[in-house]
Amino acid sequence: NVSSCQISDAYNAISKRSGTVQSIKPINNQKVWGSIYTAETDSDDWGTSALAIEMANAGDILFFKVNGEDKAIWGELASTCARDNGIKATVIYGSARDLDALLYMDFPVFASNFCPNAGYPLGLGSLNEPIEVEDMKINPGDFFFGDESGIVVIPQELFAQVMAQTLLVKIKESAIIEDISSGKTLAEIVGLK
């Protein structure tokens, strides 16, 4: 019962990093969390998506780094197959397509762009190896959280510490909301007035 904002605040308090990739946005506004399975490919190669679906474990979240943005590597068929194979969600630093279907599917998708065209089933990308997105290193097994506000990636080794800090953030915010309900202003609560 937390948000990406609270997790990002907690991670920032520990590491002085936000854990966010600003360009990746929710496609269908669903909340999801879990362990990352990474993939990297070129935008003309949706075949790597099909291979990632086959190789990832049930419960994983697929995180794609896509080089180039002129074609989509993910859409309705991939989402249907991934969901049926137990994959929890897909995150794409690149383009998705078939928004007419993705918007209403019970399968969370996050992407930095969308377009109608796709490439080919080449299968030339890499699977489950470290990737780098916007100066953030993402490793297989890192923790992912996504919701309506965006996404947060937490290194596996900091997961327990960040979750404990997230609880403290949530408790503090709940107290602030109570203070606002009792008549205090936000400026008063944070000491600006």
**Token representation of residue 12:** 């920032």
- Residue 74 has a pLDDT of 98
C-beta of residue 80 within 8 angstroms of C-beta of residue 57? no
Mean pLDDT for all residues in the chain = 96
What is the rounded average pLDDT of the residues 151-166? 97
C-alpha to C-alpha distance for 99 and 174, rounded to whole angstroms: 36
pTM, full prediction: 0.94
Look at residue 68 and tell me whether its pLDDT is greater than 80.
yes
Give the pLDDT band (50/70/90) at residue 69.
confident
- The answer to whether the CB of 56 falls within 8 A of the CB of 34 is no
